[in-house]
Amino acid sequence: RKANSIESFKDESRYKNALFMQSPIGKNLYKNRLKIEQLFSILKGLYNLENPRLYGQKRYERHIKWVLLSYLIDEFNKVNSKISSRKYPWNL
């Protein structure tokens, strides 16, 4: 677990993740992880992402794409309605 360097990683996925985290994009994403976690929390609450009863990766990916499309449409409507809150609609 406590490797001295990235080169000592034996797992290829872990090595690629470590390289990504050292890139400028990875560092920026890591800085914004709180915002990302808040967005995932909102998506889970509004669109029932916690325990979907979907089996298979393709079905789950399709579900996620529809959820993201729905979220973007909702955000577009909020901008047009001049709503700036990220709260759930029933708490506005």
- Read off the pLDDT of residues 1-25 as tens digits, 9 standing for 90 and up: 567 777 778 888 888 888 898 899 9
Q: How far apart are CA 9 and CA 13, in angstroms?
A: 9
Name the H helices within 1-92: 12-22, 24-31, 33-47, 57-80
Q: How far apart are CA 59 and CA 51, in angstroms?
A: 14
Tell me what pLDDT residue 1 has: 58
Cβ contact 67:43 at 8 Å: yes
**Structural domain boundaries of the chain?**
7-81
Q: Rounded to the nearest 5°, which phi and psi values hold at 51?
A: -135, 65
Cβ contact 63:43 at 8 Å: no
pTM, entire model: 0.53
Tell me what pLDDT residue 25 has: 92
